[in-house]
Each structure stands twice: as C-alpha cells, then as structure tokens.
Structure 1
C-alpha cells in the first residue's frame, strides 16, 4: 500500500517536475512540497484538489492508501532518471534564494530577516528581506544591508536612509562614490547643506578639489566665501576660516570638514 507521500513523489516524477516547479504551480513554497513528500505534513483540501487536477487523478486515490492505481496508467521513471533528477534537485538548491526570519518580532516585523541569492533569475525575482535588521539582495529595515537597501541605517550598492553608505548613497547623511543628502561625503558629493569630496557641491559649505558652495574650500572653489588651497592649508587654518563664516557649526562636523580641507590632495 502506498502512502500519500509516496504517491505524490511518483506523480511528480512522472510529470518530470521538480519540487520547485510543482510548488510554483500550486502557489506554495518548495519546503511545503518537500514536507508533503517526506510525510512530515499534509496539504490542505484545496491543494489536494489542485494536485488531483494537475495529475489527472482522483482525490480518493491521493488520500486513500488502499487505492493503488490512478485513473490512468503510470510508469515509474527509470532508476537512472530518478537519480539524475535527485542530483539536479540537490545542485539547484545552491542557486535558490536562502531565506530566514527570526521568530522574535518588534512592531510586527521580524527582528532579523534574510533573503539572499546569487542566481541571476532570483536576483530578478525581487524577493525582499523585511525586518528590523534586513539582509538581502533587496533589503528594507531599520538596519538594511543589501544590493538595494532602504532603512534608517542603510549599506548597499544602492542605499537610501537617514545614514546611507553605498556606491550610490542618498540620505540625511550619505557616504559613497556618489553621495547625495543634507550631509554628503564622497568623490562626487552633493550636499543640500554640507559636502566634502573630490567634486563637492554644498548649499552652505563645500570642501573638495573642486568645490562650490556659499562657503567653499578647494583647489578650484566658487562661492560667497572662498578659501583656495594654493600651496597648502593646515587643519587649523581651515577651521578658523569655517568658524569665521559659520560660528555655530557643530564641532565634530567642523573637525571633519577641516580634515578634508587640509588633505585635499
């Protein structure tokens, strides 16, 4: 007598479907199909009906162990074919998205959410990691790390956040090869208020090789108040110049901009 799990495995192989393909047709996860075939879980009634329609067998055949023969004859795949399928199934697992979420939650979100894959098809599937801490090809969270990351603290190839670090970074404070925000630092820095970099454009202060801002420090600088590098500048000289025109500038930010100004080369 065959159990439901044995019948399901046989029917799936008869149709030449992988667990992933069967799961996609039923709108469930591959893990669900794997549990059905191992006998660890059983599908709900709606999924049983869908299986019967997909494989052209009755629900009775699927659920009643005493019924051995489906409505149409089947042939078990040759042992070599079955073995090859198992090998392909095993190899393909390395290319699927690896997902994990912590059971602990905060504000309805998992504390940690991970969804990673390096397979091109999965990169295009737009599966997203969402959690307090999110890690994935696409990550959204309080702390987000990924190819595309959005969060209060965001790190990624393309990042958006209050504090953003990435190849393309956009945020209140942004750091990266191309950075834009209220405060921006990078080779190309666009700061609504402050900017530091090779090419820096800042609304209030810009420091860089080429700098444009209300107050600008650089080799080539343009603005209302300008301090040119000339033969060199020291950090105290840059600090004094910035304080002269922005006396209420936050001290840590003053130090940071002064370091940029004294080390433009």
Structure 2
C-alpha cells in the first residue's frame, strides 16, 4: 500500500475531511489532495506530525510495509524522536490536540522561528507567534481573552491592548487601563476618557487627577480615599454600573495616596 492510500485510510478512520486535516497541519486543502492523489509528498516535519496524529511510525507511512513491532518499533520511535527534536529546533514547536470542538482543536500551539503560516495558531486555547482563539497567547493575539505584545479581545492584555476591557502600556477600549489609556472609562498616567478619566494627566467629562481638564474635575490630594472618589463620580454618573464604579474609585483612591 502506497503513502497516498495509507493517508486516505487513516484520515477516513479518524472521520476527518481533507479540510480538517489541512487545518490541523497548518497547510491548504489542496496540499492534502495532492498527497492523496500521489502527485506530491509531505516534507519531513509534516510526516512527523502525521505519525503523531495517527499514532503510526514514519516507516509505516513511507514504506510499502506493515507497521513494525517490538524492538524494531521502539528503535523507530527513538529515531523519530531525535528527528522531531531537530525539526522542532529548526522550525519551532507545533502541537495540536486530538480533542476538537466543531472541527476546532481544543489546544493549538505554533511557535516558529520564521514568519508565516507555521507560526499561526488557531484553537480554543491558542499559543503562537500569531494566536487566534477563545483564550489566546501570542506576539499578536486575538481572542475572547487575549494576552500578547499586541492583544485584541473582549479582555485584552498586552504592551498594546485593544478590547472591551484593555490593560496595557497603551490601552484602548470601553474600559482602558494603561500608561496611556484611551476609552469611555480610562485610567493611567495619561488618561483620555469620554465619560470618566483618572490619571496624572486626565481629560474627559468626569476627571480625577493632577493635571485635569473636563466638565467635572477633582484634583488629587494626599489622603484621597476610594469612597470620596466614588461619591464624586456618582454626582455626574448616578447610573454607572456598581462594579465598574467601585473599580474606578479604587484606582483613584490608590493613585491619590
């Protein structure tokens, strides 16, 4: 049995389509189609991934022979591990969990020393040069909860963070906390908030800080408490969501000490 036939058999046994297999390998569906038609062959790193995914040896995949057993299989496994370590060192680290939710891997890790698709991770939990997932960690990170140098998400944390709630050196969002914070509600060294701004330099409608500009301003002074800050914010925002109010007041109180 040739490699192309074995790949079709193994893929179908796992109940995967060509597109699903391609996604797990980080390649295009056309590449899988070429492998299965016998018009192209995968590179070594992909063979290693296939052997791990289907729990067969590389020898079984590429040779017209049955799966080796016993000592021969163990020797083959050790050789594959050595090759895998070399490939991972040269190209980074890739891991995709077998568990999937609606065709999306539960965990996907793609760390690469090179730019390109090899460093893009997509999964429920994603870790990579570029990470896209519900919970994502990466240099560039996109997700519900996103952590990275550049983070985009409902909750975003990063050197530059953009989200509904953003925390970072530079943060932009509905609620933004950072050295430079821009949002509806903002707190930081320099804060620009449409409704509430808290910071050493603050600009907005309701403002608490040292250098302030806004319709309602409260300058910091020694001993400013969270309770005082809360009462001040309530004067102009009586319907502000209580947890957010207390959060902003706590920040103002801690900065005013």
Fold-level similarity (TM above 0.5)? yes
Query: Larger Cα Rg: Structure 1 or Structure 2?
Result: 1
Task: Give, in whole Å, the separation in 2 of the partners of 1:162 and 1:89.
Answer: 37
**Which residue does 2:17 correspond to in 1?**
none
Structure 2: unaligned runs, 5 residues or longer: 4-39, 52-56, 65-81
1:234 to 199, 203, 225: 225
**Which residue does 1:102 correspond to in 2?**
97
Task: Give, in whole Å, the separation in 1 of the partners of 2:142 and 2:111.
Answer: 16
How far off its partner does 1:116 sit? 1.2
**Which residue does 1:172 correspond to in 2?**
164
How far off its partner does 1:242 sit? 0.5
Q: Secondary structure in 2 aligned to 1:224?
A: strand
Q: Does 1:41 align with 2:33?
A: no
Q: Secondary structure in 2 aligned to 1:40?
A: helix
Task: Give, in whole Å, the separation in 2 of the partners of 1:89 and 1:163.
Answer: 36
TM-score between the two structures when normalised by the length of structure 2: 0.68
Aligned pairs (5 A) from 1:127-206: 127=118, 128-191=120-183, 193-206=184-197
Q: Deviations over 1:129-184 (max 9, x none)?
A: 00111111110011111111101110011000011000000001100110001110
**Which residue does 1:212 correspond to in 2?**
203
1:195–1:202 Cα contact (<8 Å) kept: yes
How far off its partner does 1:28 sit? 2.3
2:241 to 232, 247, 250: 250
How far off its partner does 1:29 sit? 3.6
Task: Give, in whole Å, the separation in 2 of the partners of 1:105 and 1:89.
Answer: 24
TM-score between the two structures when normalised by the length of structure 1: 0.67
1:208–1:260 Cα contact (<8 Å) kept: no
Aligned pairs (5 A) from 1:23-62: 28-32=42-46, 39-42=59-62
Task: Give, in whole Å, the separation in 2 of the partners of 1:194 and 1:89.
Answer: 49
**Which residue does 1:20 correspond to in 2?**
none
1:221–1:228 Cα contact (<8 Å) kept: yes
**Which stretches of structure 1, 4 residues or longer, exceed 3 Å deviation after superposition?**
31-35, 87-93
> For structure 1, which segment, 103-112 or 209-218, has the greater mean C-alpha deviation from structure 2 after superposition?
103-112
